[in-house]
Structure 1
Amino acid sequence: MSEAPVVVPAPPGPVVPGGTEDRAPRRTLVALVVTELLLSFALATPLVATLSLKVNEIAPGERTSVLSLVAAVGAVAAFLLNPVFGHLSDRTAGRFGRRRPWIIGGLLAGLPAAVVMATATTTVQLTIGWLLAQAAYNAALAALSAVIADRVPPGRQATASGLFGAAGFAGVVPGLVLVGMLPGRTVLLFLLPAGAAAVGGVLAWYLLRGEPPLDPAEREPVSVRSVFTSLTFDPRTSPAFTIVWGQRFLLQFANSLIGALGLYFFMARLGMSTAEAAALLSVTGLFSLAGNVVSAAVCGRLASRTGAYRAFIIGSGLLLTLSMLLKMTASSVWPVYVASALAGIGLGAFYAVDLALVIRVMPHSADSARYLGVFNIAKSLPQSIAPALAPLLLALGSDPVVRSGDGNYFALYAAGALAALVATALTPLIRHPRLTRD
């Protein structure tokens, strides 16, 4: 029988020498926001466009299957490597601290990975390049997320979480702009985002200076067993963490379930051509993105002031549920616009608060990067599961709203609404001594 880990309250962020407790988080927040923005830019641009463009060059006759293979390998690498790198970061001893070496190392390593992808002439080379990029950027992301737990005082963690989430959403925008400015310039579309991320690593190294090194006497050894253990947690000893993990999984599952099929939904339900559906997808995507960024920034700040994390979780879950119910019954354009805006606001609010919430309920603060890595699995794993389940839901009879014969989108969105509603209903079960204000 294993011994339950001792729950240690998260320590306040250390004070940077020469500054005050109030000033130290401000510099930390700048590092978090700018670095996450540039990291997201480097990760999102291939997903948005450049992998598709490169696959079209390498294997135009098999582009769908090849792109699915490359994306699947990257997704598996992301959800496996993030907690592993977090585990290694937690146990890194040296005068530069636990987080900074992994942040700058990961962001600099993304540049040669981008070169491999930019110069790829075969599917194998492109897959290896994307695998290396996922490994590099997840090493940086695991350490960067833990900075909030390590160095931001508890009263400001929701603000940091909100700004961090907003930066992650906003990182998609430079990629979209770059693709529009440099159509067909695949090499530059790979290298410029990776170069920007490398600059972000250098900036983070400078702004996050003053991180106290891990005391070698407190450093737990790294072993093969400990690495494999870093991918799991015991729900019995951390029920609050388990529930928050489940909520993120369900909401991301709902979002992923319908995200990849938006183009086909517009064509089937609204009778649009491919070009019309693509244009509407772009507009609604901007609606959703704007809601993500604004909601994440605003709700993170409000949650810091009120401490009502669970109230924001409930609100975001209900907004996502309502969004899916609107799309479930939509047969015209305007409900789609409203649903996209609601989904953007709801998802932004959720990702603004859930990181700060999970920091509160983590079983062991000394393993913050490891547990945040496990928490990130709840975001990446549904991106692999949902696309496989979507065709089964579409095959459940005919769509009662528009009988187009292209699949039952009513069932698809109903499943998404159910997942979001279940996630919302779990919120009252989150109980923890450090959650006292809602």
Structure 2
Amino acid sequence: MKRILILALAQALVLASLTAPAVVGLSIDVRRLLPNGDEAGTLAAIISAGSIAALVANPLFGWLADATRRRRTLLVAGAAGGFAGCTALLWAPCIGMLTVAWISAQVGYNMCFGAINGLVSAQLAPADRTRAAGVLSAVTVLGALPGLAAAAVFANHRSLMVLAVPAAALVAIPLIASRLPGESASATRRSRLHVPIRTIATSAFGLAVAARFVIALELAAGLIFALYLFTDRWHLGTSAAVRLVSIATLLGAVGIVGGSCAISLTRLRVIAPRVLLGIGLGALALGTAARGLAPTPTVFLVATFIAGCAIGTGFTASRSLAQSALPAADSGLGLGVLNAANTLAPAIAPLLAGALVMPGIIPWQTDGYGAMYLLLTIPIALCAAAIPISRPRRSRSLVSAI
């Protein structure tokens, strides 16, 4: 478990390194370079470009880490590349170079993620899969906190705001890598330089990816229109609605961490991942529907906390299920694909949520946002229904041969 905690620290440092530039740094740089232009549209385009880079880089470097057995090397190289990209953000002379710098930072830090995914599964006992999954799921939320703290503390010092955490990661990650057991390059490395489609095409792994995507989609879509729901349904002023949205976001985050840690630190971790996933999806459907039907803001907040706990449970269970469905030798690629679902869902969520807002579908409500929450329960229920038909890794692959 000590090795998992060390890797969780590395993952937290990587996440934190991306947080301050994404939340504040890029906004400042876009305004600096484009004072009288379409700042919002330009910022959205840059962030989207970085997300696409992350979507490709995470599984790509996971596959490379698996194939070369140089996971520690890639971990350190990724920290250096990410730091270089963040440094380039500070001196980008134009929007084009700013975009290239942000893509470089995303590629570098996703190299770290690919290496971490492989290192987590190496020598991981089956009994520890769910515990490790819970720790790493909690880190997905907690890891953002140092970056947010750096943005707040160094608000008047742009360089420190952007580089404080990446610099810490640049120093700490090589030390972390030195504490990890080494890996010798395989004698058959050349023969392994192929994409192991058969190992990631099982129904069990497909279920894990689908569930992760649906859960991440609900997480991203669930609060997109919360401000409008508060103002339209309960006729609150903007300041009161903003305060409640902030509280709801905090409660959801606490629920995610709490749900993940509760499984990791208690006997709940011995429950089969499929069962945990079913519990998480069921609770998420309940919390999502309750938000859609909430008669008061208090009920909405309680339902948001329930949904957060369910998301933490679902994240933990889906990662544990994916790890049990993957050979350790190909875990970097497989978990990279799982992480890609997290990246893709927020990109789709705004468009999907907007399409699901259907005023009048709930006769006793004046807003259409309740319909969005209710309709979001459909893909959650479909994933839950697929759990009984998923099969473990030893079952026949979804493709017979590659």
Establish whether TM, by shorter chain, passes 0.5: yes
Task: Determine the structure 2 residue equivalent to 1:126.
Answer: 98
Do structure 1's residue 211 and structure 2's residue 182 form an aligned pair?
Answer: yes
What one-letter code is carried by the residue in structure 1 that aligns with 2:64?
L
In structure 2, runs of 5+ residues without a counterpart are: 396-402
Q: How far apart, CA to CA, are the structure 1 residues paired with 2:390 and 2:361?
A: 39
TM-score (norm 1): 0.82
Within the candidate set 283, 288, 292, 2:252 is matched to 288
What one-letter code is carried by the residue in structure 1 that aligns with 2:17?
A
For the Cα contact (< 8 Å) 1:327–1:336, is it kept in 2?
yes
Do structure 1's residue 427 and structure 2's residue 387 form an aligned pair?
Answer: yes
Task: Determine the structure 2 residue equivalent to 1:106.
Answer: 78
Task: Determine the structure 2 residue equivalent to 1:357.
Answer: 321
The aligned runs of 1:22-421 (5 Å cut-off) are: 25-26=1-2, 28-59=3-34, 61-92=37-68, 97-208=69-180, 210-220=181-191, 222=193, 226=194, 229=195, 233=197, 238-302=202-266, 305-362=269-326, 364-394=327-357, 400=363, 402-403=365-366, 408-421=368-381
Q: For the structure 1 residues 196 and 342, does the alpha-carbon distance in structure 2 shift closer, same or farther, using more than 3 Å as the test?
A: farther
**Cα displacement string for residues 267-319 of structure 1 (whole angstroms, at most 9, x for unaligned residues):** 33333343333322222222122222222122134467524211211111122
For the Cα contact (< 8 Å) 2:205–2:321, is it kept in 1?
no
1:219 CA displacement: 4.3
1:163 CA displacement: 0.9
**Per the alignment, in what secondary structure is the counterpart of residue 232 of structure 2?**
helix
What one-letter code is carried by the residue in structure 2 that aligns with 1:336?
F
**Per the alignment, in what secondary structure is the counterpart of residue 184 of structure 2?**
coil
TM-score (norm 2): 0.89
For the Cα contact (< 8 Å) 1:106–1:136, is it kept in 2?
yes
Greater share of residues in helix: 2
1:141 CA displacement: 0.3
1:259 CA displacement: 3.7
What one-letter code is carried by the residue in structure 1 that aligns with 2:46?
V
What one-letter code is carried by the residue in structure 1 that aligns with 2:59?
P
Q: How far apart, CA to CA, are the structure 2 residues paired with 1:236 and 1:40?
A: 25
**Per the alignment, in what secondary structure is the counterpart of residue 272 of structure 1?**
coil
In structure 1, runs of 5+ residues without a counterpart are: 1-24
For the Cα contact (< 8 Å) 1:159–1:303, is it kept in 2?
no
Q: How far apart, CA to CA, are the structure 2 residues paired with 1:187 and 1:265?
A: 38
**Per the alignment, in what secondary structure is the counterpart of residue 46 of structure 2?**
helix
Query: Which region of structure 1 is more displaced relative to structure 2, 374-383 or 59-68?
Result: 59-68
1:389 CA displacement: 2.3
Q: How far apart, CA to CA, are the structure 2 residues paired with 1:176 and 1:280?
A: 20
1:179 CA displacement: 2.8
1:221 CA displacement: 5.4
For the Cα contact (< 8 Å) 2:18–2:147, is it kept in 1?
no
Task: Give percent identity, aligned residues only.
Answer: 26
**Cα displacement string for residues 30-84 of structure 1 (whole angstroms, at most 9, x for unaligned residues):** 3112111111111233333333343344335422211211121111111111111
Q: How far apart, CA to CA, are the structure 2 residues paired with 1:120 and 1:319?
A: 46
1:150 CA displacement: 0.9
Matched residue pairs, number?
Answer: 394
**Per the alignment, in what secondary structure is the counterpart of residue 38 of structure 2?**
helix
Q: How far apart, CA to CA, are the structure 2 residues paired with 1:251 and 1:305?
A: 20
